[in-house]
Structure 1
Amino acid sequence: MTTHSSSISAQSDEVTAPSLQFPVRIAAIDVGSNSIRLIVADVHEDSSYRVLDDERELARLGSELPITGRLPEAATEVAMGALKRMRDLTDAFKVNQLRCIATSAVRDATNGKAFVDRVRSEIGLELEVISAEREARLAFRSISRQHNLQHHLVAAMDIGGGSAQLILAAGSVVENVYPFKLGAVRLASEFPFDKRPHIQQYDKLRSHVREQLLSKLTEPPFHPEVLIGTGGTFTTLGAIHNASVSGGTSSAGVQGVELSRAQLHHIVDRLLMLPLEKRRGVSGLPADRADIIVHGLCVVDETMEVLGINRVRVHEGGVRDGLINEMIRDLLGSRGQHADPVRDRLRSVRRFAERCGYDKEHAEHTMLLACRIFDQLCEQLALFHDAHEQAEARMMLEAGSILHDVGYLVNYSAHHKHSYHLISNADLEGLSKRQVEIIANIARYHRKSEPKKTHAPFQALDDDAKHLVRLLAGVLRIAAGLNRTRTSVVRDVQVDATKQRRLIVMALVTDGHAEAEVWGAKRKENLLAEMLGYSIEFVLPERDDVLSK
């Protein structure tokens, strides 16, 4: 049996060559806790795509997860039938590339792996079980393509059947991802309502949701202007709203529909007053979602309360749409093969920096100074015994230098901390998660505090990574100090390390007065000095005096 791989398989060799034949037909299947969805699309050379088919089948794989910890047998059979039909449909469409992902229910169930194995053996589909963080990124990828987020601080939320992912973003750049076990199906199982819900039942649900949110959102990094939501809870909210304002069933789409929190409260209050049978007849509310919609809307309302948001906006796309966009990126990016992997990584870093609106001249000159200091220290002090390790460290220093100020996108105060969050949540092509974390920490420590035992992200690194962060952040702190006025007055640094005296002298080549730069560098020299066990002195040109401690 042919396996339809969740990554680019042998089947896709024909579409990864430099000469692609457009349109390229792709498909994505999303196995969620509530439903299973398929999208088939034709991709064009300009990265646009046209949807050819869009299917959804209800399976409720996560309906018993809070009670049994397993995927229900009956739901599993429904899911197998749905996946078989979807595979047959993709065969009929002759898709060039197919990817299948599974989210919360399969991820958390004790028999999730057995389900994945069965799907592979009986249907020939390779099901990729993704993390909650990846789920959030896919949803946000979809949102950022369709909404103008530039210059806005936003919250984005994907509410599925088994989990909910909250993203805080500055523009289209992710600041933080918060996963919660607050899916609508999961909550309906944990907090079942009577046919006509009692207010006490809703209050109990609301208290639980609030407690879960506050466990991770005690101090949000900023106050978002709007909550943008994906998933069935949000699209149903938009449909109910459209129907209510039109006086009946509305055929209008829900993309971009915006409600105030007061309007959300009105809809929740209305639904709470209705028994389940009558709720199924509410215009805009699909009958198969009537038993879980209040639970989902409770998550929306409490999220807005905790974050102090008064507006919610509906996005029709989601995880599956984000996966399609990711496939398109990978597909189009595969046309050219670059010979220099370091240059490719830094190209990705610079693209991200541009999205953050970075000060290019300042960042690039700071990087130049940092690399000059690093290269000379490596040569004179033999900091690395392996050429590959030294090259990798230099690449991460370059990346950290380019990105050190991207936190300005959020605000100036504590921008070094925002830089850490933005970088650690960035999708930087060609870089491993470990490398991204090191780069994020380098940027985080370019100013203010040095690494401490109370800093959880730094402490989570392995010992070698901690050593690198201290070394490279120490170099970057001095380079940033030498470019303090953002005028590039310090053109070069000539390093002379004397082992006998345990002294590093940095002679500055300048285009003018650089006393402010020396002062800036001296304030930040301690981390590198302590790391190497050397004193550091700075020398200005055409002067005999040494500016030292």
Structure 2
Amino acid sequence: MTEQRIGIIDIGSNSIRLVVYERTSRGAHRVIDGSKRAARLSEHLDEDGSLPDRTIQELIDMINHFRLICAHHKTGLIRAVATAAIRNSTNRSHVLSRIESETGLPIELISGVEEAGFGFLGMINTMSVTDGFLIDIGGGSTEVSLFKNRELVRAVSFPFGCVSLATRFADGGMLSDAQLRELELHIGQAIEREAWLKQEPGLPLVGVGGTVRSLGKMHQAFVKYPFESTHNYPIEGQATDELIELLRKLPVSKRKNFPGLSKDRVDIIVPGLAILRSIFRTVGGSHYLICGAGLRDGLFFSTRFPERPRMEDVVMYSVNNLAAMHPEAPMQHTSQVNRIVLQLAGTLQPQRPSEDRSLLFIDIASTLHRIGASIDYYDYKRHTFYLMVNSRLNGLSHRELLICSMIASYKSKNRTKQNAALYRPLLSDEDIAVVCKLGTLLQLAIALDRSETQAIGKLVVETNDGKLRLHAVRASGSLDVERKEVEAQAGDFKKLWGLTPILL
């Protein structure tokens, strides 16, 4: 594919969204623009199930607006898809032909199962979860999938969503006990026909879409969670039940002020969460897991990588993508530091339990330790920390992301403890000890290429008599700068590793 920029337009039942992706000169992918317009198409269906001309015209105006944004960015390809509201309308052919003739864009009307497939692709390329159920609650449909060993096994699309159920069962956004029972009975009757939903209890229910993201934001605000991202955020079943009851009892006028809830969702959030809870109970979920990616991300991956849209290694794809977005970091130096630190870690910690992820942490931290220099070389470590924490490195839990960011930006044990205090209780004393050990290891590897000339071609590492002997077997040029830097690191290194490093 030669296009450098791809626009994805998602014509959903609740909102119409645009995302513009860019491929940089170094092969990184990033979002450079996005826009959202509330549509509530499911609410506008006539008694005969058709979308009125007025609504179609508003939709055309919105899409033309998005086309202008894409034109401004010189977008090479625009892919537009329509989901449940248009799929379920009785005049869908008329709607699609009018949109296409008045915008010049071909619109893909995707089926519920295709929608589930794109949602799965967006999720599986941004999370490390292996087995589970996936739910995407839209305005007019709800897709539920089962995946095992990171492969999609089954998928179903139910013809109800948060907007359509709010219109049918809620009274101005309020659900009485009787209305809730009626809504849950309606969902239960549809679910009952899909026996496979009850055959894999104990798996996480991964959620994509606005309803689930809102749940994450509200829960984080409620518990004063110290980390901003909702991507990969776990929530227990009981906590969700408590939030639903809290919201259900609040009048819509007061619900507007509920922390984490956007104003355009106040009347549809409770029906949406009722769908989520019903599916959770049916599948016997272990807990909820929120995914910040979804349909639009899946559409991007399938468009950009049509031959192999699914990533084999989510974490390292994401790490390398972030590194490529910051070309100011000297790539040859970073590669040398990465090679050396992995060798040191392998020598000093040869035996690791299978659950130990320290080798992955140091691999990530060493690859990204200099990206902060793209903001300012002075104090680049602080900028590296900020960039890593706010770039949503996929496949890592929030705790793991913090650990990697703190290793990459390591300065001293005291500074680490100060930083960690902001993120309690996400980080344990053991985590802080790991950061300090691996942080000093990374600093030693950086010292071994302080001149940034990759002078050490081969390193032989030996440990005896309390010394870490570093033999530069193949070296080109003087290593005076590196020796002085290793000496400067020796005191801190010995405190944590019990060894004094010497460059020979």
TM-score under structure 1 normalisation? 0.54
Write the deviation string for residues 108-166 of structure 1: whole angstroms up to 9, x where unpaired. 1012221211111111111110111110000000110111123xx20001111110111
Question: Match of 1:436?
Answer: none
The residue identity in structure 1 corresponding to 2:228 is A
Equivalent position amino acid for 2:20 in 1: V
Amino acid at match of 1:190: R
Aligned partners of 1:188 and 1:67: how far apart in 2? 16
Q: Does 1:264 align with 2:240?
A: yes
Query: In the alignment, is the contact (CA less than 8 A) between 2:135 and 2:142 conserved in 1?
Result: yes
- Read off the aligned partner of 2:38 and give its amino acid letter: L
What percent of counterpart residues are identical? 29
Distance, in Å, in 2 between the alignment partners of 1:68 and 1:101 is 24
SS at match of 2:230: coil
1:457 is aligned to: none
For residues 139-538 of structure 1, what are the structure 2 equivalents within 5 Å?
139-150=119-130, 153-194=131-172, 196-217=174-195, 220-246=198-224, 252-330=228-306, 333=307
Query: 1:416 aligns to what?
Result: none
Q: Aligned partners of 1:277, 1:46: CA distance in 2, in Å? A: 49
1:330-387 deviation line (CA, Å, top 9, x unaligned): 2xx4xxxxxxxxxxxxxx8xx99x99xxxxxxxxxxxxxxxxxxxxxxxxxxxxxxxx
Q: Which residue type is aligned with residue 82 of structure 2?
A: A
Relative to structure 1, the CA distance from residue 219 to residue 104 in structure 2 (aligned partners, 3 Å threshold; closer, same or farther) is closer
Q: Distance in 2 between matches of 1:311 and 1:47?
A: 36
Aligned 8 A contact 2:197 2:282 in 1: no
SS in 2 for 1:69: coil
Structure 1 CA distance, aligned partners of 2:297 and 2:77? 15
Given residue 170 of structure 1, which amino acid in structure 2 is its aligned partner? K
CA deviation map 1:174-197 (0-9, x unaligned): 110111112111111221225643
1:215-266 CA-partner distances (Å, limit 9, x unpaired): 213664422510011111101111111111129xx98221112111101001
* 1:37-69 deviation digits (Å, cap 9, x = unpaired): 000011258874110011110111111448541
Aligned-residue Cα RMSD (Å) equals 2.4
Q: Secondary structure at the match of 2:42?
A: coil
CA distance in 2, matches of 1:145, 1:219: 23
Distance 1:209 1:67 in 2: 22
Q: Which residue of 1 aligns with 2:10?
A: 30
Q: Deviations over 1:418-439 (max 9, x none)?
A: xxxxxxxxxxxxxxxxxxxxxx
Distance 1:44 1:326 in 2: 18
Aligned residue runs from structure 1 range 30-69, under 5 A: 30-43=10-23, 48-65=28-45, 67-69=47-49
Please state whether the residue corresponding to 2:305 is helix, strand or coil.
helix
Paired with 1:90 and 1:105, the residues of 2 have a C-alpha distance of 24
Structure 1 segments unaligned to the other structure (5+ residues)? 1-15, 334-347, 356-549
Q: In the comparison of the two structures, how many residue pairs are matched?
A: 312
**Does structure 1 retain, via aligned residues, the 8 Å contact 2:197–2:283?**
no
**Distance in 2, Cα, partners of 1:85 & 1:63:** 22
Q: TM-score, normalised by structure 2?
A: 0.58
Equivalents in 1 of 2:65, 2:133: separation in Å? 36
CA distance in 1, matches of 2:27, 2:112: 27
Change (3 A) 1:197 1:219: closer
**Alpha carbons of structure 1 residues 47 and 174: separation in structure 2 relative to 1, 3 Å:** farther
* Partner Cα separation in structure 1 for residue 5 and residue 75 of structure 2: 5
Q: Is the 8 A contact 2:44 2:55 kept in 1?
A: no
Q: In structure 2, do the counterparts of structure 1 residues 237 and 328 end up closer, same or farther at CA, with 3 Å as the change threshold? A: same
Q: Which residue does 2:93 correspond to in 1?
A: 113
For 1:119 and 1:63, locate their aligned partners in 2 and report how far apart those are by CA, in whole Å.
19
**8 A contact 2:173–2:268 mirrored in 1:** no
> Any conservation in 2 of the 1:47–1:328 contact (CA below 8 Å)?
no
Q: Deviations over 1:506-533 (max 9, x none)?
A: xxxxxxxxxxxxxxxxxxxxxxxxxxxx
8 Å Cα contact 2:17/2:35 also seen in 1: yes
Q: How far apart, CA to CA, are the structure 1 residues paired with 2:27 and 2:90?
A: 39
